[in-house]
Amino acid sequence: MEKSALPDVFEEARISKGYGKMNDQDDPVTMILGLKDVRKCAHNWKNFQSGAEPGRIVVPSEVNIRDTRQIPFEVDPPEHKDFRALVEPWFKRPLEEKYSQELKNQIEALVEEVLTLDSVEVIEEFSLKLQSRALTLLLNIPYSEADLWISWGTHVFRSEGNDLDGDKAKILYDYIDEKISEAIENPGDDLYSMLLSATVNGKKLTREEVKGVMILTFSGGRDTVINAVTNSIAYFAEHPESLKKLLEEPEVTGKAVEELIRYFSPLTHMGRVVTKDTEVCEHAVKADTRISLCWASANRDAKVFEKPNEVVLDRKINPHVAFGFSHHNCLGATHARQIMNILLKTLAEKVASIDILDSKENIEDLDQFKRKVGYEYLQVKFNKK
């Protein structure tokens, strides 16, 4: 098996039953595995809600480490719509020329830097830096702020060993609180200030609501982007022909981004709380239990994707759900797609090949399923053209 491969561990359960079961801190989850069922449940916010107790739709549950509601992620329709409409234009800024040019400058500089090194640990020395620096653009704040975020490590709610860590989460909350206070005193053209001056339904956002959007902005795109970038480096190390193809046919880049994101599915699944006794995949689920929409499994569904376990760089039809589906689809997707697009083009232009020197897989423990989601470390050498 190639080092860069991410096996589909859901296949058998998806085909035989359509769902899987996992216990998570004594709050069990029925995982929905097929693409069609995942979409159906994602639409059905009346039966499967996001706006339950803050932290409960995340698997592993975060109810014990936070009580701030993340917005718009943990809000259901109809309120969801107004919050989403407020933040949507801001999160589309990555399409602007100036933004993408700055992102390109950041990514090119980082690639140039790693090309001078004999050995690079991709997560710490590449992906985390890339993600943190790019986030300064999304927030519209000075580049130098990224250094602090880099020092926090890859997951804001977890420490080494992947345990949920309330003390670590507090670092982020205290930081955001401080930044909100600064923006109240000294409004600028950053995301904090935009939110503080905004109104939803004629009412100003509360401080807690501003905090909820900011926490989501920090945490939602952190390990996900880091995994997408790290997995891309591993993939190109083992597929130099793909880098060559991207250089010769740059018009394929957009499709390649979608395909890599489908294949990696950096966010395995997202939960919902069941509001009334009902059925999924002919299986009874009880009110006040949880289901999860398993994007990673749905994205390998052979009923929809030909050769689902292969990376087909220019895959024509690719209705993947790696960015979620329906009204809660990923708010940061435009930013993430721009990062991947620029990264792929830059690697194709500047990198001749990548050698994997050492690696250790990061395996997510989903009870019945153990899924590789990325790496604990990935040591490589980037070779210049």
Residues that bind ligand EMZ (CB under 6 A): 58, 62, 70, 73, 157, 216, 219-220, 223, 267
**Encoded amino acid at 191, one letter:** L
What span, in angstroms and rounded, lies between the C-alpha atoms of 35 and 12?
14
Q: What minimum distance in Å lies between the beta carbon of 190 and ligand EMZ?
A: 20
**Is 380 exposed, middle or buried (CB count within 10 Å of its CB: 0-12, 13-18, 19+)?**
buried
Minimum distance, C-beta of residue 62 to ligand EMZ, in the bound complex (Å): 5
Taking the complex as a whole, the smallest distance from the CB of residue 65 to ligand EMZ amounts, in Å, to: 9
| Spatial contact of 275 and 56, defined as CB atoms under 8 Å apart | no
Considering the complex, state which of residue 219 and residue 338 has its C-beta at the smaller distance from ligand EMZ.
Answer: 219
CA triple 348-353-359, angle to 5 deg: 115
Q: Which residues of 151-167 are buried (b: 16+ CB within 10 A; e: fewer)?
A: ebbbbbbbeeeeebbee
Nearer to ligand EMZ, 34 or 55 (CB): 55
Residue 322: CB minimum distance to ligand EMZ, A? 11
Q: Which of 235, 312, 227 is nearest to 266 (CA)?
A: 227
Q: C-beta of 251: minimal distance to ligand EMZ in Å?
A: 30
Token pair 């499994």: residue: 297
Q: Which is nearer to ligand EMZ, 150 or 302 (CB)?
A: 150
- Minimum separation from the CB atom of position 158 to ligand EMZ (A): 8
Kindly report the backbone phi and psi dihedral angles of residue 147, in degrees, each rounded to the nearest multiple of 5, phi listed first.
-60, -40
Q: What are phi and psi of 359, to 5 degrees?
A: -160, 155
Report the residue number, 20 or 220, with the smaller CB distance to ligand EMZ.
Answer: 220
For ligand EMZ, the closer CB: 61 or 232: 61
How far apart are alpha carbons 43 and 327 in whole angstroms?
Answer: 7
Q: For the CB of residue 220, give the shortest distance to ligand EMZ in the complex, in Å.
A: 4
How many Å is the Cα radius of gyration of the chain? 20
Cis omega (within 30 of 0) on the bond before 60? yes
The smaller minimum CB distance to ligand EMZ, of residues 92 and 168, is found at: 168
Q: Whose Cβ is closer to ligand EMZ: residue 114's or residue 164's? A: 164
Q: For the chain, how are helix, strand and coil distributed in percent, rounded to 5?
A: 50, 15, 35
Nearer to ligand EMZ among residue 121 and residue 223 (C-beta) = 223
* Tokens coding 30: 């029925």
Supply the minimum distance, in Å, between the C-beta of residue 43 and ligand EMZ: 18
Q: How far apart are CA 14 and CA 309, in angstroms?
A: 14
